[in-house]
Each structure stands twice: as structure tokens, then as C-alpha cells.
């Protein structure tokens, strides 16, 4: 399955299932075939994504500093910041325009 996040304010953001579900989990949404992030929910969603990026980067920095240390990091070698930035941009643009972000519709 592919997640296609849409807004009337910006271009679509398309993600593979695992990546889309990761974003939804971070923002507190249940991964589902359809859903909505309302304008009112967008600021909290952006804050959650930014906080997750800080944590992810701290784990990665610790792993690089101590190569023998086993640190569990979710996902693949793509940094969360790189993966989340287009989604955060979509959320910001949508909030500024007063538009919801939807998927699966």
C-alpha cells in the first residue's frame, strides 16, 4: 500500500506503507487506509515530528560516537529528518492556508 497525503494547499506527498505508517504513528494517528489531520491538529503533529527527529538524531549521534554500542534505531539508513521534511512542509503549508491534510480519499 502507498500513502498519498493530500491537501488543497500543496502538492501531494507519497510514501511507502512503512514510512507513511511511521509518520502517522509519530503524529498520534492510527495507520489506516483513510484519515485526516485537521487544521487544529497540525501544530501538534508538526511538534511531534520535530521531537521525533531530535530523538532519532541523538540516537544516531550516539551510535556514531560508540561504534561498538548496540543502539536500537527504528527504520533504515535514511534519516528521519530527510523522510519527514516533505510531510512537515505539507503540514505547514496546509496550516497556513487553513486546509486539512487527508489520505486515502
Domain that holds residue 103: 19-25+50-68+76-105
93 part of a folded domain: yes
State how many domains the chain has: 1
90 part of a folded domain: yes
Task: Give the pTM.
Answer: 0.86
Query: Can you read off the three cell numbers belonging to residue 72?
Result: 536500537
Q: Are 37 and 99 in contact (CB under 8 A)?
A: no
8 part of a folded domain: no
pLDDT tens digits, 23-81: 999 999 999 999 999 999 999 999 999 999 999 998 888 877 876 655 555 555 678 99
Which pLDDT score is estimated for 70?
58
99 part of a folded domain: yes
Amino acid at each position: 500500500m502507498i500513502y498519498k497525503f493530500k491537501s488543497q494547499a500543496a502538492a501531494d506527498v507519497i510514501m511507502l506503507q512503512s514510512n507513511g505508517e511511521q509518520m502517522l504513528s509519530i503524529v498520534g494517528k492510527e495507520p489506516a487506509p483513510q484519515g485526516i489531520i485537521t487544521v487544529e491538529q497540525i501544530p501538534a503533529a508538526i511538534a511531534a515530528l520535530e521531537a521525533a527527529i531530535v530523538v532519532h538524531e541523538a540516537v544516531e549521534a550516539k551510535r556514531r560516537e560508540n561504534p561498538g554500542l548496540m543502539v536500537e534505531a527504528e527504520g533504515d539508513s535514511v534519516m528521519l529528518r530527510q523522510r519527514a521534511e516533505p510531510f512537515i512542509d505539507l503540514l505547514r503549508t496546509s496550516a497556513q492556508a487553513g486546509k486539512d491534510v487527508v489520505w486515502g480519499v
